[in-house]
Structure 1
Amino acid sequence: MTDTPPAPGAMTQADIAEWRGGWRTVLGAGIGMGSGVALYLYVASIFIEPISAEFGWSRGDLALGGMISFMSGAVTLPLIGRYIDRIGFRPVAIVGSIGLASVYTLTALQPGLYAAYLALMIAGGIFGGGASSIAYTRPVIAAFAGQRGLALGLATAGTSIAAMIAPPLLAYMIGEYGWRVGFFTLAGLTGIIGMPLALLLIGRAREAHASASDEIDTHAPRVADVSFRDAIRTRRFWLLIAAIACINIPGSGVLGQLAPLVSDTGLSDGAVAIVMSIYAAGLLIGRLVTGFALDRFPAPWVGAITTLVPAIGIGLLMWPAPSFALAAIAVAMIGAQQGAETDLFAYFISRSFGIKNFSSIYGVIAMAGALSTAVALISFGKIHDATGSYDIALTIGAVLFCLGAVAFGLIGRKPTKAAMAAPVS
């Protein structure tokens, strides 16, 4: 009697063994990402009014601090990635989380000096990189091979869950006890609860140098790790740079202007709030569905399809006087792609270039994504100011999403030439 081969897409015994040994790593990474710098990104706007009222700073003053923080974090990501590759993710996550918690604490204690606020924002951007997905995806990709896509999807879902839970919690703390207690709460969530619990769950998860391969099945040919220098010489690396820029400019531009953009369609304030919640749900669904699909279908096609979906969403959003249902579907489609982003790039980088230099390569690609986000945050608002509508910005965004889909489609499934040429250890 012969063993019946598993059905296509079904879990094998090796897959089950991966989950048996790695579910704690996924849970820990999700908690780490959800309580790291992503947590602040979801609640930052809640602090604007109370801080502005106490110190007399304008919203533009506070936005400048946020932009400086974002840029300082972006340019340090390659360095953080390099340190992760050299010393492991744990020391970087510990320093990043404690540093970020310290920034929150000092912000709560600061007397209202704008220069001090800007300095703290710069420090927050730098430390935040160590408390982000660049650190916590590392143990996940090291612990999973056949189920790597789904594992990444579940781990990055931690930020989506944080986006649902944190805003009402922080709004309550600020409303009852003031914005300073809100920052103390963030410090506790990041440095006292989140990071220690994440590392406890991850335990001594291996950081072995897994083989690089674009094939989904376990019979894929083994491909060696690729050095950082060789990686940046490949076409695939630059296609990933192009893809993340084409995704982040429209995705971040829409997110940064989401409330006024949806409001301009004629929906009520209550409907706009619900649509924004649907965006958060789209993030979660996008992460889970993309992770599941990456383990079962050709990754370039998964990337291309998930990047075409928000282009359709933008088209629906530009529909004259869209109904609530149409606007909700459109925003969910855009949110789903933004949720898929971390899954896609962590998966492609690990499958294309291996794990030994994963964080260094990821850091450079993430920096490109962060810089393109900064461009989006400025340009979408400026285009609206100049034209009186978001139509031109949305049209450009739809075109960029399509170009991003093309970039994914051009990546191909075969391992990079650099990986094929490198010796297998």
Structure 2
Amino acid sequence: MTQTTDRPAAATGARAPRPRLHRAWFVAAVTFVTIIGAAAFASLPGLLIEPLHNEFHWSRGTIGFAVSVNLALYGLTAPFAAALMDRFGIRKVVAIALTVIAVGSGLTIWMTAAWQLVMFWGVLVGLGSGSMALAFAATVTNRWFVAKKGLVTGILTAAGASGQLIFLPVLSWLVQHHGWRPASITVSLAALAVVPFVWLLLRDHPADVKTTPYGSEEYVPKPPPVTGAARRAITVLVKASKTGTFWLLAGTFAICGASTNGLVKTHFIPAAHDHHMPITAAASLLAVIGIFDIIGTIASGWFTDRFDSRRLLAIYYALRGISLLFLPMLLAPNVQPPMIFFIVFYGLDWVATVPPTIALCREQFGDDSAIVFGWVLASHQVGAAIVAYLGGLARDVFGSYDVIWYASGALCAVAALMALVIRRRPASPLVVAAAA
């Protein structure tokens, strides 16, 4: 399949003509589409709370607990998945993860007890989605790109928002008109549909197609498989945890997860429904967040290539906190202009934090940065898991979500301050090479 024109000059002894489009961009496109296809599972939890509460009479706290297990495992699996990708390859890990997601989502249609929701949606989908986490995007970026890493990170991060934009309106329509089971089957089929796409088109390393990483003139041989994936993930965690920077990054990203996946993605739709807004309207607003998330994340990647990542994070968290403080006043039966402004504003900020966070991991931790980011992402999902549960519990206890909106806004202010005190690591040849 590989043409001789893909082989670099260093490998053939003759100068080969350059292809018009570097193969790295093709791999990035495959990764983008894969993440879009896998995004269906992330679009469903907020739509399930009310239907499951009405059908099985489970408390919102119980349903929120299942979502929190999903989110926590999503994060805790990520660093091990990054190490497994170094051991077995990106393609195998991602294909298996998508299959696990499909099985877990499909089994939910037969559940009759809350523990089954925790097992199928919480454990199986959580484990599968953790292997499809942002560590996947970070690994692809680190292997295939030397230049424009911030931009590529932003584009791949935006893929999740693109999937949300595609799937949320469809899933909300299915839930409202046909119940939650067809929506769950749709998630299962979407994950399965991506598996052959990944297996046939994704490649693990530039050396697999005998080319160089984008932005590099030097041919990089494919490294041998790294054994002891679990041991390496733990070793990297122990080493990174001895630095203050790791804890600051983990703390800020935990607040990021709490204020996005744990709060807005999980509880915005039921909170809007409490104010008599139709579920389809609330889901459409989340989809609009996805539109502006794409713009904001790609722009953040561009900014990350040019500006101090610490200051970018401080700005992002401060603006997010301010917007959350206003949200309880904007919820109403109908969508009013102030709510649209919030959705646009929040969408631009949704995962704009990812490119500068990955850049700081790369700057501070070099070759281990993908695994370190996996652990930082674990903190993101643990924060999301805690708020996913506390949000449902607060609704059961207080009869509204207001207290959780205000608390999350205050936490974002704390995250802004934490970002500002992250120290810049003194430049060294190794770090410069890793961050290039």
TM-score, shorter chain, exceeding 0.5: yes
Q: Deviation digits for residues 342-385 of structure 1, max 9, x if unmatched? A: 3333332223212x323321222112111111222233454566
- 3-state SS in 2 of match to 1:131: coil
Moved more, 233-242 or 72-81: 72-81
Q: Deviation digits for residues 33-78 of structure 1, max 9, x if unmatched? A: 2222x42120234456666777x45364544433333334443333
Q: Deviation digits for residues 249-298 of structure 1, max 9, x if unmatched? A: 33332443324655788989887566444333332222122112111222
State the aligned residue count. 389
Q: Partner residue of 1:149?
A: 150
Q: Does the CA-based 8 Å contact 1:18-1:144 persist in structure 2?
A: no
Indicate whether 1:369 and 2:380 are aligned. yes
How big is the shift at 1:163?
0.8
CA distance in 2: counterparts of 1:317 and 1:342, whole angstroms: 23
Q: Partner residue of 2:10?
A: none
Picking from 324, 330, 334, the partner of 2:342 is 330
- Residues 415 and 197 of structure 1, relative CA distance in 2, 3 Å threshold: farther
Q: Does the CA-based 8 Å contact 2:27-2:202 persist in structure 1?
A: yes
Q: Partner residue of 1:211?
A: none
Could you list the runs of 5+ residues in structure 2 that have no partner in the other structure? 1-17, 209-214, 217-234
- 3-state SS in 2 of match to 1:306: helix
CA distance in 2: counterparts of 1:177 and 1:248, whole angstroms: 31
- 3-state SS in 1 of match to 2:147: coil
Q: Partner residue of 1:405?
A: 416
Equivalent positions of 1:164-179 (< 5 A) are 164-171=165-172
- 3-state SS in 1 of match to 2:352: helix
Give the TM-score taking structure 1 as reference length: 0.76
- 3-state SS in 2 of match to 1:233: coil
Q: Partner residue of 2:212?
A: none
- Residues 358 and 95 of structure 1, relative CA distance in 2, 3 Å threshold: farther
Q: Partner residue of 1:300?
A: 310
Equivalent positions of 1:383-394 (< 5 A) are 383=394, 392-394=403-405
How big is the shift at 1:400?
1.9
How big is the shift at 1:389?
5.8
CA distance in 2: counterparts of 1:263 and 1:315, whole angstroms: 19
- Residues 81 and 326 of structure 1, relative CA distance in 2, 3 Å threshold: same
Q: Partner residue of 1:314?
A: 324
- Residues 169 and 385 of structure 1, relative CA distance in 2, 3 Å threshold: closer
Q: Deviation digits for residues 88-124 of structure 1, max 9, x if unmatched? A: 322221221122222233334x364654444323222
- 3-state SS in 2 of match to 1:35: helix
- Residues 27 and 114 of structure 1, relative CA distance in 2, 3 Å threshold: same
Q: Does the CA-based 8 Å contact 2:64-2:389 persist in structure 1?
A: no
Q: Partner residue of 2:248?
A: 239
Q: Partner residue of 2:358?
A: 346
CA distance in 1: counterparts of 2:397 and 2:286, whole angstroms: 25
Moved more, 138-147 or 163-172: 163-172
Q: Partner residue of 1:187?
A: 188
Could you list the runs of 5+ residues in structure 1 that have no partner in the other structure? 1-15, 209-216, 219-225
Identity %: 19
CA distance in 2: counterparts of 1:95 and 1:268, whole angstroms: 37
Letter in 2 for 1:127: G
Letter in 2 for 1:71: A
Picking from 378, 382, 388, the partner of 2:389 is 378
Q: Partner residue of 2:104?
A: 103
What's the Cα RMSD here?
4.0
Q: Partner residue of 2:131?
A: 130
- 3-state SS in 2 of match to 1:367: helix
Give the TM-score taking structure 2 as reference length: 0.74
Moved more, 158-167 or 380-389: 380-389
CA distance in 2: counterparts of 1:348 and 1:207, whole angstroms: 27
